[in-house]
A and B are shown apart, each in its own frame.
Chain A
């Protein structure tokens, strides 16, 4: 699966808006994840997951910033996320099903914050892009 030129344009242009709200978007995405899919909390026994927690905010920022790295290197996401890919494969070992759940929650956050921009086409482009990111992050699992 690779992104078309049109899809890349859509993603890069929406990223410009997202990049001004990286912290809050990251936090909201994780809040949505932990509420809708409580089993995902099993990866964070060491975290304070209450809304407003500093750890939640820091981690949310980290996640969205990594998405941003993928956007900035959208022509070569594999190279941009290579270290993260190793981290997930050898250290974190998050079950692959969870990438879909996180991706969905990020899409919901974007849809809620940018409803006019989140057209069907944008939705398709972002769903595909996050799917590519997820594949990169799991490609070294076995």
Chain B
């Protein structure tokens, strides 16, 4: 595998953006940390919560959802059925990432094109949503969401964000 001279193997996702030909590699421990939490999650609920919090904490992200109806307050947003449905869709797709952690760019190639060409979503939004998801995991799992577990998830959400931005042109 091609490597930048002097650079350690297992590049941080941020560095990986400069070398997109290098796949992100997850250790066995990282994969275990990710899949064990995922197995305990109610993806439908968590998805709605994640998207809802994105729209509450970063209100400018509402720009993509003009047709979602009432987004006038945190409770309106979190109770909004379209937000819940779309959140479920997004997080279910995240589940595909977890099944294909060694092959994210291929897994998300079509979705990347969609987000660029049809949805016109700034990839910064993927980073925001990833961090909101991490925070939701923290509220659900508390002490179990150790710094080590968080680091594995940060690596995943970052790699997913990069994969979703990969086909932008």
Total interface residues on B, CB under 8 Å, equals 27
In the complex, the answer to whether B56 meets A120 with C-beta atoms within 8 Å is yes
Q: Which of A37, A108, A121 contacts B135 (CB 8 A)?
A: A108
Question: Which residues of chain A come closer than 8 Å to B56, judged between CB atoms?
Answer: 120-121, 123-124
Question: Which residues of chain B come closer than 8 Å to A119, judged between CB atoms?
Answer: 74
Which residues of chain A in 74-124 are interfacial with respect to chain B, using CB atoms and an 8 Å cutoff? 104, 107-109, 111-113, 115, 118-121, 123-124
In the complex, the answer to whether B74 meets A112 with C-beta atoms within 8 Å is no
Query: In the docked arrangement, what's the CA distance between A123 and B147, Å?
Result: 19
Interface: A36 (CB within 8 A): yes
Question: Which residues of chain A come closer than 8 Å to B74, judged between CB atoms?
Answer: 119-121, 124
Interface: A35 (CB within 8 A): yes
Query: In the docked arrangement, what's the CA distance between A32 and B134, Å?
Result: 12
Interface: A127 (CB within 8 A): yes
In the complex, the answer to whether A36 meets B147 with C-beta atoms within 8 Å is yes
In the complex, the answer to whether A124 meets B57 with C-beta atoms within 8 Å is yes
In the complex, the answer to whether A111 meets B150 with C-beta atoms within 8 Å is no
Query: In the docked arrangement, what's the CA distance between A127 and B132, Å?
Result: 11
Which residues of chain B in 61-87 are interfacial with respect to chain A, using CB atoms and an 8 Å cutoff? 74, 77-78
In the complex, the answer to whether B57 meets A115 with C-beta atoms within 8 Å is no
**How large, as a class, is the contact surface on chain A?**
20 to 34
Interface: A39 (CB within 8 A): yes
In the complex, the answer to whether A35 meets B148 with C-beta atoms within 8 Å is yes
In the complex, the answer to whether A127 meets B57 with C-beta atoms within 8 Å is yes
Which residues of chain A in 32-78 are interfacial with respect to chain B, using CB atoms and an 8 Å cutoff? 32, 35-39
- Say what secondary structure dominates the interface of chain A: helix
Interface: A23 (CB within 8 A): no
In the complex, the answer to whether B135 meets A35 with C-beta atoms within 8 Å is no
Query: In the docked arrangement, what's the CA distance between A127 and B128, Å?
Result: 12
Which residues of chain B in 117-169 are interfacial with respect to chain A, using CB atoms and an 8 Å cutoff? 131, 134-136, 138-143, 145, 147-148, 150-151, 154-155
Given A104-B131, A107-B135, A120-B74, A35 and B151 contact (CB-CB distance below 8 Å)? yes
Question: Which residues of chain B come closer than 8 Å to A35, judged between CB atoms?
Answer: 147-148, 150-151
The 3 closest A-B pairs by CB, nearest first: A111-B138, A115-B139, A112-B138
Identify the B interface with A (CB < 8 A).
12, 14, 49, 52-53, 56-57, 74, 77-78, 131, 134-136, 138-143, 145, 147-148, 150-151, 154-155
Q: A35-B151, A104-B134, A118-B139 are in contact. List 8 more A-B contacts (CB 8 A).
A: A39-B12, A108-B150, A111-B135, A111-B138, A112-B141, A113-B142, A120-B49, A123-B56
